[in-house]
Structure 1
Amino acid sequence: MKKFVQSAMVAIVMVASFNAKANDKIANDGKNDPVKVVKEEESSIPAIRLISKPDGSSSFEVGTIKCLQHLNTSTFWMNNSVEDWEKDTHKAPRRQYVVTLKGRIKFKVTDGSTFIVKPGTVLLAEDTSGKGHSWEMEDEDDNTWVRLYIPITEGKEDFFVPNK
Protein backbone atom coordinates (compact mmCIF):
# COMPACT_ATOMS: atom_id res chain seq x y z
CA MET A 1 0.00 0.00 0.00
CA LYS A 2 2.84 2.39 0.86
CA LYS A 3 4.37 1.88 -2.63
CA PHE A 4 0.97 2.63 -4.18
CA VAL A 5 0.62 5.89 -2.23
CA GLN A 6 4.17 6.94 -3.17
CA SER A 7 3.51 6.13 -6.84
CA ALA A 8 0.25 8.05 -6.74
CA MET A 9 1.99 11.06 -5.18
CA VAL A 10 4.64 11.10 -7.94
CA ALA A 11 1.88 10.88 -10.56
CA ILE A 12 -0.01 13.75 -8.94
CA VAL A 13 3.11 15.94 -8.89
CA MET A 14 3.82 15.12 -12.53
CA VAL A 15 0.23 15.97 -13.57
CA ALA A 16 0.31 19.23 -11.63
CA SER A 17 3.68 20.10 -13.18
CA PHE A 18 2.36 19.40 -16.67
CA ASN A 19 -0.73 21.55 -16.02
CA ALA A 20 1.42 24.39 -14.67
CA LYS A 21 3.59 24.40 -17.78
CA ALA A 22 0.50 24.41 -19.98
CA ASN A 23 -0.69 27.65 -18.39
CA ASP A 24 1.29 30.79 -19.13
CA LYS A 25 0.70 32.24 -15.68
CA ILE A 26 -1.26 31.72 -12.51
CA ALA A 27 -2.63 34.96 -11.13
CA ASN A 28 -4.21 36.22 -7.95
CA ASP A 29 -6.83 38.94 -7.81
CA GLY A 30 -5.32 41.03 -10.62
CA LYS A 31 -3.54 43.55 -8.37
CA ASN A 32 -0.28 41.80 -9.17
CA ASP A 33 0.79 38.37 -10.29
CA PRO A 34 2.77 36.85 -7.42
CA VAL A 35 2.63 33.31 -8.73
CA LYS A 36 4.17 32.56 -12.09
CA VAL A 37 4.88 29.24 -13.66
CA VAL A 38 8.31 28.11 -12.53
CA LYS A 39 10.93 27.56 -15.21
CA GLU A 40 11.34 23.93 -16.19
CA GLU A 41 14.99 23.77 -15.13
CA GLU A 42 14.04 24.74 -11.56
CA SER A 43 11.89 21.58 -11.25
CA SER A 44 9.42 23.10 -8.83
CA ILE A 45 5.67 23.49 -8.78
CA PRO A 46 3.92 26.74 -7.80
CA ALA A 47 2.38 26.64 -4.35
CA ILE A 48 0.42 28.93 -2.05
CA ARG A 49 0.39 28.37 1.71
CA LEU A 50 -2.46 29.56 3.93
CA ILE A 51 -1.14 30.47 7.39
CA SER A 52 -2.52 31.50 10.78
CA LYS A 53 -0.96 34.63 12.25
CA PRO A 54 -0.43 35.17 16.01
CA ASP A 55 -3.31 37.69 16.13
CA GLY A 56 -5.78 35.03 14.86
CA SER A 57 -5.97 36.34 11.31
CA SER A 58 -5.19 34.30 8.24
CA SER A 59 -2.78 35.19 5.45
CA PHE A 60 -0.97 33.49 2.60
CA GLU A 61 2.51 33.07 1.18
CA VAL A 62 3.47 32.36 -2.41
CA GLY A 63 6.24 29.91 -3.22
CA THR A 64 7.05 26.50 -4.64
CA ILE A 65 7.48 22.83 -3.79
CA LYS A 66 10.39 20.94 -5.35
CA CYS A 67 9.37 18.29 -7.88
CA LEU A 68 9.87 14.65 -6.95
CA GLN A 69 10.23 15.58 -3.29
CA HIS A 70 9.01 12.70 -1.14
CA LEU A 71 6.31 14.34 0.95
CA ASN A 72 5.48 13.55 4.57
CA THR A 73 2.11 11.92 3.97
CA SER A 74 0.52 8.54 4.44
CA THR A 75 -2.89 8.83 2.79
CA PHE A 76 -5.00 10.96 0.47
CA TRP A 77 -8.57 11.17 -0.75
CA MET A 78 -10.48 12.82 -3.56
CA ASN A 79 -13.55 15.02 -3.52
CA ASN A 80 -15.81 16.71 -6.08
CA SER A 81 -18.55 17.95 -3.77
CA VAL A 82 -18.77 20.72 -1.18
CA GLU A 83 -20.03 20.34 2.38
CA ASP A 84 -22.04 23.13 4.03
CA TRP A 85 -19.27 24.11 6.50
CA GLU A 86 -16.88 24.73 3.58
CA LYS A 87 -19.12 27.49 2.20
CA ASP A 88 -18.42 29.82 5.16
CA THR A 89 -15.19 31.23 6.57
CA HIS A 90 -13.35 28.33 8.19
CA LYS A 91 -9.93 27.23 9.31
CA ALA A 92 -8.24 24.21 7.78
CA PRO A 93 -9.23 21.00 9.59
CA ARG A 94 -5.61 19.79 9.42
CA ARG A 95 -2.32 20.69 7.70
CA GLN A 96 -2.76 19.37 4.18
CA TYR A 97 -1.92 19.75 0.53
CA VAL A 98 -4.94 20.45 -1.65
CA VAL A 99 -4.28 19.59 -5.29
CA THR A 100 -6.89 20.98 -7.67
CA LEU A 101 -7.52 18.74 -10.66
CA LYS A 102 -10.44 20.75 -12.07
CA GLY A 103 -11.83 24.18 -11.28
CA ARG A 104 -10.72 27.70 -10.42
CA ILE A 105 -11.14 28.69 -6.80
CA LYS A 106 -10.82 32.22 -5.42
CA PHE A 107 -9.56 32.18 -1.83
CA LYS A 108 -9.93 35.11 0.57
CA VAL A 109 -8.00 35.70 3.80
CA THR A 110 -8.76 37.90 6.82
CA ASP A 111 -7.50 41.22 5.41
CA GLY A 112 -9.55 40.76 2.22
CA SER A 113 -6.62 39.73 0.02
CA THR A 114 -7.45 37.07 -2.55
CA PHE A 115 -5.68 34.60 -4.78
CA ILE A 116 -6.82 32.04 -7.32
CA VAL A 117 -5.94 28.37 -7.26
CA LYS A 118 -6.33 26.37 -10.45
CA PRO A 119 -4.80 23.15 -11.71
CA GLY A 120 -1.04 23.48 -11.61
CA THR A 121 -0.82 25.19 -8.22
CA VAL A 122 -0.63 23.29 -4.93
CA LEU A 123 -2.49 24.81 -1.98
CA LEU A 124 -1.05 24.15 1.47
CA ALA A 125 -3.88 24.62 3.95
CA GLU A 126 -2.06 25.38 7.20
CA ASP A 127 -4.34 28.00 8.78
CA THR A 128 -5.51 25.53 11.42
CA SER A 129 -6.22 28.13 14.11
CA GLY A 130 -7.81 31.56 14.20
CA LYS A 131 -10.37 32.97 11.80
CA GLY A 132 -9.43 30.96 8.73
CA HIS A 133 -10.22 31.60 5.08
CA SER A 134 -13.13 31.53 2.67
CA TRP A 135 -13.39 30.58 -0.98
CA GLU A 136 -15.74 30.65 -3.92
CA MET A 137 -15.85 29.13 -7.36
CA GLU A 138 -14.29 31.48 -9.90
CA ASP A 139 -16.19 30.03 -12.88
CA GLU A 140 -19.94 30.31 -12.29
CA ASP A 141 -20.72 28.25 -15.43
CA ASP A 142 -18.82 25.18 -14.23
CA ASN A 143 -19.41 24.77 -10.51
CA THR A 144 -17.15 21.72 -10.19
CA TRP A 145 -14.08 21.59 -7.97
CA VAL A 146 -12.26 18.27 -8.22
CA ARG A 147 -9.40 18.00 -5.75
CA LEU A 148 -7.15 15.73 -3.76
CA TYR A 149 -6.63 16.20 -0.04
CA ILE A 150 -3.24 14.98 1.13
CA PRO A 151 -2.73 15.42 4.90
CA ILE A 152 0.78 16.30 6.08
CA THR A 153 2.04 13.95 8.79
CA GLU A 154 1.78 15.64 12.22
CA GLY A 155 4.91 17.60 13.12
CA LYS A 156 6.62 16.96 9.77
CA GLU A 157 7.99 19.43 7.21
CA ASP A 158 5.76 20.62 4.36
CA PHE A 159 8.67 21.37 1.93
CA PHE A 160 7.18 24.74 0.97
CA VAL A 161 9.80 27.24 -0.23
CA PRO A 162 8.56 30.87 -0.07
CA ASN A 163 9.39 33.20 -2.96
CA LYS A 164 12.07 35.76 -2.16
Structure 2
Amino acid sequence: MTSEKADTTNFLKAIRLINIENDACSFEVGKIPVLQNINATYFFAKNDIALQHSPHPAPRKQYVITTKGKLKFSVTNGHSFIIEPGIILIAADTLGNGHTWEIIDGNEWERIYIPINDDCDDYFIAD
Protein backbone atom coordinates (compact mmCIF):
# COMPACT_ATOMS: atom_id res chain seq x y z
CA MET A 1 0.00 0.00 0.00
CA THR A 2 1.40 3.40 -0.98
CA SER A 3 0.08 6.95 -1.29
CA GLU A 4 0.40 9.17 -4.31
CA LYS A 5 3.28 11.63 -4.15
CA ALA A 6 2.30 15.11 -2.98
CA ASP A 7 2.32 17.79 -5.65
CA THR A 8 4.34 20.43 -3.82
CA THR A 9 7.48 22.49 -4.10
CA ASN A 10 7.80 22.84 -0.31
CA PHE A 11 9.81 20.45 1.83
CA LEU A 12 10.87 19.75 5.39
CA LYS A 13 14.50 19.01 6.20
CA ALA A 14 15.02 15.32 6.98
CA ILE A 15 17.80 12.93 7.93
CA ARG A 16 17.42 9.20 7.32
CA LEU A 17 19.29 6.56 9.30
CA ILE A 18 20.10 3.62 7.02
CA ASN A 19 21.84 0.28 7.10
CA ILE A 20 24.89 -0.12 4.89
CA GLU A 21 27.16 -3.10 4.24
CA ASN A 22 27.51 -5.64 7.06
CA ASP A 23 24.49 -4.10 8.85
CA ALA A 24 26.50 -1.01 9.82
CA CYS A 25 24.61 2.28 10.21
CA SER A 26 25.00 5.52 8.29
CA PHE A 27 22.73 8.43 7.37
CA GLU A 28 21.55 10.53 4.46
CA VAL A 29 20.58 14.20 4.52
CA GLY A 30 17.62 15.33 2.47
CA LYS A 31 13.99 16.33 2.67
CA ILE A 32 10.40 15.13 2.61
CA PRO A 33 7.53 16.92 0.86
CA VAL A 34 4.99 18.87 2.91
CA LEU A 35 1.33 17.94 2.42
CA GLN A 36 2.36 14.30 1.91
CA ASN A 37 -0.14 11.70 3.10
CA ILE A 38 1.76 8.88 4.78
CA ASN A 39 0.69 5.30 5.36
CA ALA A 40 0.60 5.07 9.14
CA THR A 41 -1.97 3.48 11.41
CA TYR A 42 -0.88 4.99 14.72
CA PHE A 43 1.61 7.27 16.45
CA PHE A 44 2.88 7.67 20.00
CA ALA A 45 4.74 10.26 22.04
CA LYS A 46 7.77 9.61 24.21
CA ASN A 47 10.04 11.57 26.54
CA ASP A 48 12.04 8.71 28.06
CA ILE A 49 15.81 9.18 27.72
CA ALA A 50 16.87 5.74 29.00
CA LEU A 51 18.55 4.80 25.70
CA GLN A 52 20.83 7.86 25.70
CA HIS A 53 24.41 6.74 24.91
CA SER A 54 23.21 3.13 24.28
CA PRO A 55 23.81 1.71 20.78
CA HIS A 56 20.59 0.35 19.29
CA PRO A 57 18.91 -0.15 15.91
CA ALA A 58 15.47 1.28 15.21
CA PRO A 59 12.79 -1.22 16.31
CA ARG A 60 10.87 -0.51 13.10
CA LYS A 61 11.01 1.95 10.21
CA GLN A 62 9.53 5.18 11.58
CA TYR A 63 9.41 8.95 11.47
CA VAL A 64 10.70 10.62 14.65
CA ILE A 65 9.42 14.15 15.11
CA THR A 66 11.32 16.08 17.78
CA THR A 67 9.16 18.62 19.59
CA LYS A 68 11.71 19.54 22.28
CA GLY A 69 15.43 18.95 22.60
CA LYS A 70 18.65 19.10 20.63
CA LEU A 71 20.54 15.85 20.11
CA LYS A 72 23.71 14.55 18.56
CA PHE A 73 23.24 11.21 16.78
CA SER A 74 26.28 9.05 16.03
CA VAL A 75 26.34 6.10 13.66
CA THR A 76 28.59 3.05 13.43
CA ASN A 77 30.66 4.47 10.57
CA GLY A 78 31.85 7.23 12.95
CA HIS A 79 29.87 10.16 11.57
CA SER A 80 27.35 12.26 13.49
CA PHE A 81 24.57 14.80 12.94
CA ILE A 82 22.30 17.09 14.96
CA ILE A 83 18.52 16.66 15.35
CA GLU A 84 16.32 19.41 16.75
CA PRO A 85 12.75 20.62 16.20
CA GLY A 86 12.22 21.32 12.51
CA ILE A 87 14.31 18.35 11.31
CA ILE A 88 12.47 15.09 10.65
CA LEU A 89 14.37 11.90 11.51
CA ILE A 90 13.53 8.78 9.54
CA ALA A 91 14.82 5.79 11.49
CA ALA A 92 15.34 2.96 9.01
CA ASP A 93 18.47 1.36 10.53
CA THR A 94 16.68 -1.75 11.77
CA LEU A 95 19.69 -4.10 11.65
CA GLY A 96 23.04 -4.32 13.39
CA ASN A 97 24.29 -2.11 16.22
CA GLY A 98 22.38 0.92 14.94
CA HIS A 99 22.99 4.38 16.33
CA THR A 100 23.51 6.27 19.57
CA TRP A 101 22.26 9.66 20.65
CA GLU A 102 22.94 12.16 23.38
CA ILE A 103 21.17 15.33 24.45
CA ILE A 104 23.45 18.31 23.82
CA ASP A 105 21.18 21.17 24.89
CA GLY A 106 19.08 20.85 28.03
CA ASN A 107 18.12 17.51 29.56
CA GLU A 108 14.91 16.55 27.74
CA TRP A 109 13.93 14.96 24.44
CA GLU A 110 10.25 15.02 23.59
CA ARG A 111 9.27 13.32 20.35
CA ILE A 112 6.51 11.70 18.39
CA TYR A 113 7.01 8.37 16.63
CA ILE A 114 5.04 7.54 13.48
CA PRO A 115 5.74 3.95 12.41
CA ILE A 116 5.90 3.42 8.64
CA ASN A 117 4.56 0.17 7.19
CA ASP A 118 7.43 -1.91 5.77
CA ASP A 119 5.96 -1.94 2.27
CA CYS A 120 5.41 1.84 2.17
CA ASP A 121 7.46 4.70 0.81
CA ASP A 122 9.01 7.07 3.38
CA TYR A 123 9.04 9.87 0.74
CA PHE A 124 12.62 10.81 1.58
CA ILE A 125 14.51 12.69 -1.14
CA ALA A 126 18.30 12.74 -0.67
CA ASP A 127 20.18 16.01 -1.25
For the residues of structure 1 that align with 2:94 and 2:42, how far apart are their CA atoms? 19
Q: Which residue of 2 aligns with 1:80?
A: 47
Give the secondary-structure state (helix, strand or coil) at the position aligned to 2:107.
coil
Q: TM-score, normalised by structure 2?
A: 0.89
For the residues of structure 2 that align with 1:67 and 1:145, how far apart are their CA atoms? 24
Task: Name which of 83, 100, 105 aligns with 1:134.
Answer: 100
For the residues of structure 2 that align with 1:86 and 1:128, how far apart are their CA atoms? 17
Q: Which structure features the higher share of helix residues?
A: 1
Residue 15 of structure 2 corresponds to residue 48 of structure 1: yes
For the residues of structure 2 that align with 1:50 and 1:72, how far apart are their CA atoms? 19
Q: Which residue of 2 aligns with 1:96?
A: 62
Q: Which residue of 1 aligns with 2:122?
A: 158
Kindly provide the CA deviation profile for residues 113-160 of structure 1, in whole angstroms up to 9, marking residues without a partner as x: 110000000000000001200000011xx2010100000012111110
AA paired with 1:160? F
For the residues of structure 2 that align with 1:81 and 1:111, how far apart are their CA atoms? 26
How many residues are treated as equivalent by the alignment? Answer: 120
Q: Offset of 1:81 from its aligned partner?
A: 1.6
Q: Which residue of 2 aligns with 1:57?
A: 24
Task: Name which of 83, 93, 113 aligns with 2:79.
Answer: 113
Q: TM-score, normalised by structure 1?
A: 0.70
Q: Which has the larger radius of gyration?
A: 1
Residue 111 of structure 2 corresponds to residue 144 of structure 1: no
Q: Offset of 1:72 from its aligned partner?
A: 1.4
Give the secondary-structure state (helix, strand or coil) at the position aligned to 2:26.
strand
AA paired with 2:86? G
Q: Is the 8 A contact 2:48 2:109 kept in 1?
A: yes
Give the secondary-structure state (helix, strand or coil) at the position aligned to 1:42.
coil
Q: Offset of 1:47 from its aligned partner?
A: 0.2
CA RMSD of aligned residues (A): 1.3
For the residues of structure 1 that align with 2:90 and 2:122, how far apart are their CA atoms? 8
Structure 2 portions without partners, runs of 5+: 1-7
Q: Which structure features the higher share of strand residues?
A: 2
Identity of aligned residues (%): 45
